[in-house]
Structure 1
Amino acid sequence: MQDQENQEVSQPIDGEGEANQVAGTPALNELEQQLSATEAKLAEMHDAFMRAKAEGENIRRRAQEDVSKAHKFAVESFAEAMLPVRDSLEMALKVEAPSIESLKEGVEMTLKQMTSAFEKNRLVEVMPAQGDKLDPMKHQAVAVVPADQEANTVVNVLQKGYMIADRLLRPAIVTAAQAK
């Protein structure tokens, strides 16, 4: 009899088993829908990631090409500005019987063209005046000489220096005053 009672307890009551089966099916369908929605969103995110990665690579490649072109053609504007200087020098050499005055005038005009080309391309002279404080970032002292001025100041300029924009191209070669 006890076995019979156990069987009755373990046996579902009429209709209860069917209710559990029916109730489990919608939950399973809902989970499957959530899974497929999540998989679709994952695929969409992966696609967006791959597109962003490709776009990043394209930007990097274009930037490298731009830098390469900038290096390759950096002197283009300076070369264009220097062409009239070359033309003037070639014309001066073609003159059959130049006079000293015409040569001097031609050299002065050519120097003006060159100065204009330098200015257009931000090439600036470094020409310290006598008595200016020695600046090791712009001046190169090749000798220290006794002078009647403050120590470490420019006494004489032996050669001009040049800067491009804010970068030193060549320092001015100077002699500096010796400490007393």
Structure 2
Amino acid sequence: MSEQEQKTNVNEKAVEEIQQENEPQSADPLEEAIARVQELEEQLKAQVEETAKKEQDLLLRTRAEIDNIRRRTEQDIEKAHKFALEKFSKDILNTIDNLERALATPANTEDESVKALFDGVQLTLKELLSTVAHFGVEPVGAVGEIFNPDLHQAISMQPAEGVESNHITAVLQKGYILNGRVIRPAMVMVAA
């Protein structure tokens, strides 16, 4: 081979190397990049779905909490309306007790002025009991009822003829309930 042929061969090899460097590499790196992009896209989709699920769960929990708060508030308002009169009712019970004591004392019904006063106290008590009943205040504790520790306060137990055990034999002070809630238990004596 001549020198010129060798130079031509070297030049051709150099040109081939330059062309190879300038030519795009094989499809492998491109395919790898596409695969990587697709993998990242799938990861992002999974993250978006997970975030959407978390957001939906948070939304449901928040709505449930709001509903619970609304329900509790409505119950509190209802209780406030129902039992707003509790303190007032407790105070008015003393007046009812005094009127009942006044009627329990023996009166001389022969005297017209005493009889009129007695009738007036009776009517006043009746009207007062009617008014408090209208607002949900009801008396509890009557002779013969079964003793109920939720409604009655036993002052003493004593044997009584003709009365079954655990039944009320005497009421020392009436008890009252307001819309089902005890505002004052009845003080009673119970048969042993």
Q: TM-score, normalised to structure 2's length?
A: 0.50
- What is residue 138 of structure 1 aligned with on the other side? 151
* CA-CA distance at 1:142 after TM superposition: 0.5
Q: Which has the larger radius of gyration?
A: 2
Pick from 60, 73, 79: which aligns with 2:65? Answer: 60
- Which aligned pairs between 1:50-129 and structure 2 lie closer than 5 A? 50=55, 52-53=57-58, 56-57=61-62, 59-60=64-65, 63-64=68-69, 67-68=72-73, 70-71=75-76, 74-77=79-82, 79=84, 100=117, 104-118=122-136, 123-129=137-143
What is the CA deviation profile of residues 97-124 of structure 1, one whole-angstrom value per residue up to 9, with x for unaligned ones?
Answer: xx74566545433421221211xxxx55
Cα pair distance change 1:115/1:173, threshold 3 Å: same
Structure 1 position 176 matched with structure 2 position 190: yes
Gap runs ≥5 in structure 1: 1-19, 87-98
- How far apart, in 2, do the equivalents of 1:71 and 1:34 lie? 55
Would the aligned equivalents of 1:78 and 1:117 in 2 still touch at CA under 8 Å?
Answer: no
* CA-CA distance at 1:34 after TM superposition: 3.4
Identify which range, 162-171 or 31-40, moves more after superposition: 162-171
- How far apart, in 1, do the equivalents of 2:121 and 2:141 lie? 27
Would the aligned equivalents of 2:174 and 2:187 in 1 still touch at CA under 8 Å?
Answer: yes
- How far apart, in 1, do the equivalents of 2:30 and 2:181 lie? 77
- How far apart, in 1, do the equivalents of 2:42 and 2:26 lie? 24
Matched to 1:108, the amino acid is K
Gap runs ≥5 in structure 2: 1-24, 93-115
Cα pair distance change 1:30/1:135, threshold 3 Å: same
